């Protein structure tokens, strides 16, 4: 996807007192894409978003929207709009007045405002709700009105500050799909910040993983999941078994690692490592094959045997915790969907195996 660039951030930094909230972040967002910034709380993502919206000025760097530098431009003159975490709908106004607010401020004529507001309400699937008060709306409806209030202004980009955070789980799942479909339908660039990886992975074309004020990796959701570039991304996106150890031998893409517990593993190497380097190995539970007999594992290079500690049944996301027989290390593996191991019980012996590429290995700071 290489269309025109809607939003460009160049080497932006911002500190509060001595705390460096955002340090040297750069990225470009092509027109019409859904871009997420994913990171734990306190990683600087809200600061970054507020700089794009114009509520904060960067200490260094530049922000370009539609090719124009936004330095010194106040929020009410920027062609981007922000959806607040708690939506910030105006309770003193009706739904229609909320959606019309920005148009009125631009001095659009009354008849045109009425037409555009009703058109917008129809597009978000809430026609005829204009006369309602804000407190008469459900959580999902409020969400859509907040989006309508911004989109009616036809912004270059829509910025969303964890707007699903306040919803209950079921509605959140539903809104995830709805937001994605809405974005595809209207084609506006969305910049979405969240600490919830599932929101970021499901909705986005591109995700930037942010940590301690920096971008760790900017990639497609698949790229982040299958080819993490840093230990932080490997640990933050998706679930992982995580072992510390040292490189025993390196050959091409593959490394042989001996973990602290004494397990010998073969994994893919992310950066140049040689024997003796302290490393961390990440293996996804869903990449591990679970078998009752060792023969079922075939030729998998990593194979371990152990006893079942606990079965955490959670439908499609069920997990088995296994204690490795030789070293006592703990491993979490996904329960196969086939129901083959549905009757697994604590105390039983199982065999685990995975491909060399199923594990990824990063240098560990000492």
> Interface with other proteins by CB under 8 A: which residues?
53-55, 74-76, 81-82, 84-86, 88-93, 101-102, 105-106, 149-150, 153
- Of the pair 93, 325, the CB lying nearest other proteins is at 93
Residue 271 has what DSSP assignment?
S
- Of the pair 68, 317, the CB lying nearest other proteins is at 68
Give Cα separations from 270 to 227, 252, 286, 310 (angstroms): 9, 11, 20, 32
- Of the pair 55, 313, the CB lying nearest other proteins is at 55
Q: Smallest gap, in angstroms, from Cβ of residue 48 to other proteins?
A: 16
- Of the pair 48, 266, the CB lying nearest other proteins is at 48
Helices (H) and strands (E) in the chain, counts: 8, 20
Q: Smallest gap, in angstroms, from Cβ of residue 142 to other proteins?
A: 13
Q: Smallest gap, in angstroms, from Cβ of residue 53 to other proteins?
A: 6
- Of the pair 77, 170, the CB lying nearest other proteins is at 77
- Of the pair 106, 170, the CB lying nearest other proteins is at 106
- Distance, in Å, from the CA atom of 61 to the CA atom of 50, rounded to the nearest integer, reads 15
Q: Smallest gap, in angstroms, from Cβ of residue 364 to other proteins?
A: 41
Report the DSSP beta bridge partners of residue 250.
255
- Distance, in Å, from the CA atom of 206 to the CA atom of 186, rounded to the nearest integer, reads 18
Q: Smallest gap, in angstroms, from Cβ of residue 277 to other proteins?
A: 48
User: Where are the extended beta strands (E) located within the chain?
Assistant: 5-16, 19-30, 34-38, 60-65, 68-69, 80-83, 157-161, 189-194, 206-211, 214-219, 241-251, 254-259, 264-269, 278-283, 289-291, 302-312, 319-324, 330-334, 349-354, 359-363
Residue with tokens 């078998």: 291
Q: Smallest gap, in angstroms, from Cβ of residue 266 to other proteins?
A: 51
Q: Round the CA-based radius of gyration of the chain to a whole number and report it.
A: 25
- Distance, in Å, from the CA atom of 307 to the CA atom of 348, rounded to the nearest integer, reads 5
- Distance, in Å, from the CA atom of 307 to the CA atom of 322, rounded to the nearest integer, reads 6
- Distance, in Å, from the CA atom of 101 to the CA atom of 104, rounded to the nearest integer, reads 5
- Of the pair 76, 338, the CB lying nearest other proteins is at 76
- Of the pair 146, 311, the CB lying nearest other proteins is at 146
Long-range CB pairs of 289-293, under 8 A, 24+ apart, other chains included: 289/352, 289/353, 289/354, 290/320, 290/333, 290/334, 290/335, 290/336, 290/341, 290/350, 290/351, 290/352, 291/350, 291/351, 291/352, 291/353, 292/341, 292/349, 292/350, 292/351, 293/351
- Of the pair 88, 342, the CB lying nearest other proteins is at 88
């Amino acid at each position: 996807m290489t269309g025109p660039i809607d939003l460009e951030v160049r080497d932006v930094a911002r500190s509060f007192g001595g705390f460096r909230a955002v340090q040297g972040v750069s990225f470009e967002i092509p027109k019409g894409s859904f871009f997420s910034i994913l990171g734990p709380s306190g990683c600087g993502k809200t600061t970054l978003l507020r700089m794009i919206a114009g509520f904060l000025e960067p200490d260094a760097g530049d922000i370009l929207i539609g090719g124009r530098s936004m330095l010194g431009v106040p929020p009410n003159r920027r062609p981007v709009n922000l959806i607040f975490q708690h939506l910030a709908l105006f309770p003193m106004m009706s739904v229609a007045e909320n959606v019309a607010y920005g148009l009125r401020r631009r001095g659009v004529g009354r008849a045109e405002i009425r037409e555009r507001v009703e058109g917008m309400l129809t597009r978000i699937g809430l026609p005829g709700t204009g006369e309602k008060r804000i407190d008469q709306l459900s959580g999902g409806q409020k969400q859509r009105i907040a989006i309508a209030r911004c989109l009616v202004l036809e912004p270059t980009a829509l910025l969303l500050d964890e707007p699903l955070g306040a919803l209950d789980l079921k509605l959140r799942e539903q809104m995830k799909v709805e937001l994605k479909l809405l974005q595809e339908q209207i084609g506006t660039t969305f910049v979405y910040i969240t600490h919830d990886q599932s929101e970021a992975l499901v909705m986005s074309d591109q995700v930037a993983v942010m940590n301690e004020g920096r971008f760790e990796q900017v990639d497609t959701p698949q790229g982040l999941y299958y080819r993490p570039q840093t230990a932080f991304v490997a640990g933050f996106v998706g679930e992982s078994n995580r072992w510390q150890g040292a490189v025993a031998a390196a050959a091409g893409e593959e490394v042989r690692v001996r973990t602290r517990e004494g397990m010998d593993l073969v994994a893919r190497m992310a950066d140049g490592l040689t024997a003796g380097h302290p490393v961390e190995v990440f293996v996804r539970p869903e990449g591990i094959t679970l078998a009752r007999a060792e023969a079922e594992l075939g030729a998998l290079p990593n194979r371990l045997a152990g006893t079942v500690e606990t079965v955490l049944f959670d439908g499609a996301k069920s997990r088995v915790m296994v204690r490795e027989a030789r070293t006592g290390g703990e491993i979490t593996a996904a329960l196969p969907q086939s129901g083959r191991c549905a009757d697994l019980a604590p105390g039983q012996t199982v065999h685990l195996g995975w491909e060399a590429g199923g594990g990824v290995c990063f240098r560990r700071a000492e």
